[in-house]
Amino acid sequence: MAVFTPLDTPHGLGQVGDTLPNGVFGYIPYSEALEDNLACGVPSKLNTDSWKGKKVVLFSVPGAFTPTCHTNHLPPYLQKYDEFKAKGVDVIAVVAANDLFVMSGWARFEGCKDKIVALSDADAKWSAAMGLSVDLTANGLGIRTSRYAMIIDDLVVKYVEVEPAPGVTVSGAEAVLAKL
């Protein structure tokens, strides 16, 4: 099977059926100690190889605490957590170009606990390698991850869609649930 390259499609996206490229993300695993807002947690690494044999829903947002991401994108995934689990999803993860401490703080603020893993794709490097980054420098945000979603089953991409315009449609919880 092919691995994502920016030239796989006219838009630089990989295809359904492609093997997920290896990635290593910074993150702070949830622990009860994080209930104290003064706790920072222990920085860790998550390698996409850990998803071998698992069904993963990965969605990407341009930035933690940004209006659409904070109010319209992440919350429905959390609200529909039980529906994702009922469809056999092992891991739900959100990724953004923010650093791992910001992602952890955002996940805590949203109440994700151990339900949604908040991953840092520093400088959007992993997403950019698949053509899934966006330059928001004109808005003062720099290079960010695009707003997209994937269903990954045993490291094989079963669904990948990027939002065609501002807002949440094809990368939202409802759209992804419908594809499971």
Instruction: Please write the tens of the pLDDT for every residue from 104-133.
Output: 999 999 999 999 999 999 888 888 888 887
- In the chain, the domains with their CATH numbers are 24-179 (3.40.30.10)
- Report the pLDDT averaged over residues 71-92: 95
User: In terms of residues, how long is the chain?
Assistant: 180
4 neighbors 130 (Cβ within 8 angstroms):
yes
Q: Catalytic residue positions? A: 69
- Cβ neighbour number for residue 26 with a 10 Å cutoff: 17
Q: What angle do CA 56, 41, 140 make, to 5 degrees?
A: 75
- Cβ neighbour number for residue 110 with a 10 Å cutoff: 19
Is 0.75 surpassed by the pTM of this model? yes
Report how far residue 127's alpha carbon sits from residue 72's, in angstroms, rounded to the nearest whole number: 21
